[in-house]
Amino acid sequence: MPLQTNQIGPNLIVYLDGNIDLSQSVLIETELLKLIEQHSSKNLILDFTQVSAMSSSGVRVLVLLRRTLKETKQKLALCNLGAPVLRIIKLLELDGRFEIFNSQEDALRAHE
């Protein structure tokens, strides 16, 4: 399942889609780690516009990505989170650990 991406300056935007459950999170993790290796982008922005729900497995992928990117001095930003996704991140008290933006434009502006 190749993820849709867009390179804008130092930012690699990845468009996630659907319900990020256990089976999808494994595929997404593999693809995202591959993209990080292939691109020398300073920032990774995950766009959740098309994500309807996310399980704890999806949250695990976000935590892993944040740690991986931090080791290489890259940044992770999340944007366009719907209410169900934002709810689980807040419930797990992770909203202070991630840069969360209302729109892709806001994320890009913050990482120029």
Sheet bearing 11-20, strands edge to edge: 4-8, 11-20, 43-54, 75-79, 99-101
Q: How many domains does the chain have?
A: 1
Q: Which domain holds residue 90?
A: 4-110
CATH number at residue 71: 3.30.750.24
Please, which residues have CB within 8 angstroms of residue 90's CB and are 6 or more apart in sequence? none
Which position has the token pair 């290489």?
72
pLDDT band at 1 (very low <50, low <70, confident <90, very high): low
User: Model-level pTM greater than 0.85?
Assistant: yes
State whether residue 93 is helix, strand or coil.
Answer: coil
Q: What percent of the chain has pLDDT over 70?
A: 99
- pLDDT for 18: 93
Please, which residues have CB within 8 angstroms of residue 94's CB and are 6 or more apart in sequence? 59, 62, 63
Q: Is 22 left (phi over 0), alpha (psi -120 to 50) or beta?
A: alpha
Q: Tens of pLDDT along 7-38?
A: 999 999 999 999 999 999 999 999 999 999 89
